[in-house]
A and B are shown apart, each in its own frame.
Chain A
Amino acid sequence: MNNLITKNIIRFIFLVLFQVFILNNIQLFGHLNPYLYILFILLLPLETPRWLLLVLAFILGFSIDYLSNTIGLNIAASVFIAFLRPVIIRLISQKTELGSGVYIGIRDMGLKWFFLYTAILVLSHHLILFYLEIFRFTDFFVTLNRATLSFLFTMILIFISQYLFHSSKK
């Protein structure tokens, strides 16, 4: 249990620093920006109570906002997907898959489940983030384009990280 908490704290710190200092400086084709930091919310243990999910998402969003001078934006988007997460998990999984001791990841849940789960949550996060950032609907398709391309970019990073960090363990 303690091990699990330490692991999540390390993951939190690593993802925040990686996001702010490396990914925020990457702007492919001018304005594409991946947001890998929400992987922290996606990978929290299945047993995490819903209120804790929300509070952790708030802290995560706040840390990102604080370090990149975008007050409130990332909080709104990450709290929203933390709220959505249990709903999505209930929707896409059979009862037998959710036993105790199961971790969220390709290894335990299978590629198809994990892909569906991350795709829905990452896409909702990106759409909210990009539309809140621009705060109007006049450039609707430009923003949609940005959100979708950044979404693909984030998904690729999530899958790379899955194979890098989680495949070698038994």
Chain B
Amino acid sequence: MRYFFAFLKKYNVFFLFVILETIAFILMANSQNYHGSIIIKSTSQFSGSLNLAYTNMADYFGLKKINESLMHENANLKNSPIYIAISDSVNTKEPYNYIGARVVLNSTHKPSNYLMLNKGIKDDIKIDMGVVSENGIVGTVIEVSENYCLVMSVLNENSKISAKIKKNNQLVNIVWNKIDYMRGVLTDIPTHLQLLYGDSIITSGYSLVYPEGILIGTIESYNNVPGKSLNTAIIKFASDFNSLIFVYIISSLQKEEQLKLIEGIENE
């Protein structure tokens, strides 16, 4: 026993090192599982408010840019069929509700990128709601605290989005190539399809997260590899993830009804 303590005393620094590194690795392993990231949830209250204070300050210098993006969006809204439909008949029941939110924290250069928005439980934000910008889709809500929510960006190795090619309604999937925040990879394209530069890729609406027809990006390059059953293509995202300021959280009013139907099938 004496030798044991002598041993501990001699190498105590090394043991401390091992203990601290172990703590770090345990923390890391827990946060890899993004749905169970309790730590992020409990810390985002404080770090969120600190980050908000910073963004408020930074906002001041970006007012011109914000103005421009709002003006741009206003113009788009006035031209869109939805706007015309609403003004025509007030009774039109839109199955989707858009909630405006401010980006508090954003990253684009990591293998797994997340955004933090200033809307939370008190604004009726729930897990699995979709998030879009005025240009295209942004991500999915994965964690909600009282005043903030955490969004898994499309720029995330765990992200996979169900999409379709606008011109022929073929279903495809979109993942990220982990390097370039402006480009993603279109997978599962049937080989008989020919894609052209500039073809639009839109959301399919089948995932119950995004409404149908929101722009994701346009085709940039397409290579047809002979002998493979499914091809891939590179797309350029419509959203500029590096300069997101205001985004919209989409809550689907009929989602519960739809989910209930699916559940009914699975239970049988």
Contacts and interface: CB of A to CB of B under 8 A. Distances in A.
Interface of A: 21, 24, 27, 30-33, 50-51, 54-55, 57-58, 61, 65-73, 75-76, 79-80, 83, 132-135, 139, 142
Interface of B: 12-13, 16-17, 20-21, 23-32, 37, 39-40, 43-44, 47, 50-51, 54, 105, 107-111, 114, 116, 150, 178-181, 242
A69 B47 contact: yes
B213 to A, nearest CB: 30
Task: Determine chain B's interface SS by DSSP, over half rule.
Answer: helix
B16 A66 contact: no
Given A30-B109, A31-B179, A69-B40, A76 B16 contact: no
Given A27-B109, A58-B20, A67 B50 contact: yes
A65 B39 CA distance: 11
B156 to A, nearest CB: 13
A51 B12 contact: yes
A71 B110 contact: no
Nearest to B31: A71
Contacts of B107: 24, 68
A71 B13 contact: no
A113 B43 CA distance: 40
B178 A139 contact: yes
B40 A33 contact: no
B109 A75 contact: no
A31 B113 CA distance: 12
B23 A75 contact: yes
